[in-house]
Amino acid sequence: MDARFEESGRQFVKFSVVGTVGTVVNLAVLKSTLFAWGHLVGDPTFGVEIFASGLAFCIAVVNNYLLNRWWTFRATGSFTTQFLKFFIVSCCGLALNELAFWLFRGRLDIDVLVSQGLAILCVLPFNFFVNKLWSFREDH
């Protein structure tokens, strides 16, 4: 039993590292898209910002899926099935993140970056355990 908890602990740390990398990817894609739009077309509108945010989310999800499949969970199951499950979990995690952010920022009036950080920390266990037990579950 201890070995399983130890392995889950290692996976949780790896999952957290991948999430940090994914956050950097997300922000880089968002900033790059808005920078390119600004130089090619002009100042981005809010609609363009929403599009860039969605694009950044999708690219970060693909990045996180690949890293978690290869490094965190060393998964060997169906690539497509696992990706679809991972994407569903990511979208649910996004919804939970928005709810937590709304609570911290909108209701408790906590600083915007602190609110986002707290929201990420709140949703992290959900994302990890659902991905471990559903998306990347290996049936033996």
pLDDT tens digit string along 63-72?
A: 999 999 999 9
pLDDT tops 90 at residue 79: yes
**Residues 6+ away with beta carbon under 8 Å from 2:** none
The confidence band for 73, taking pLDDT boundaries of 50, 70 and 90, is very high
CA atoms of 65 and 87, how far apart (whole Å): 8
* Cα-Cα-Cα-Cα dihedral sign, residues 18, 20, 21, 23: positive
Per-residue pLDDT, averaged over 5-23, amounts to 96
Q: Contact 126/93 with Cβ under 8 angstroms? A: yes
Residues 6+ apart with CB under 8 A from 87: 61, 65
Above 80 in pLDDT, residue 31? yes
Average the pLDDT over 6-12 and give the result.
96
- For residues 8 and 2, what is the distance between their CA atoms, to the nearest angstrom? 10
What letter does residue 73 receive in the DSSP assignment?
A: S
Number of CB atoms found within 10 A of residue 87's CB: 15
Place 1 in a pLDDT band, splitting at 50, 70 and 90.
Answer: low
Checking if the pLDDT of 23 tops 60, the result is yes
Report residue 42: phi and psi, to 5°: 135, -175
Question: What is the arithmetic mean of pLDDT over 104-126?
Answer: 92
Average pLDDT on 108-132 reads: 93
Share of the chain above pLDDT 90, in %: 81
- Using CA atoms of 99, 102, 105, 106 in order, give the dihedral in degrees to the nearest 10: -150
User: What span, in angstroms and rounded, lies between the C-alpha atoms of 81 and 25?
Assistant: 24
In this predicted structure, what is the pLDDT of residue 91? 97
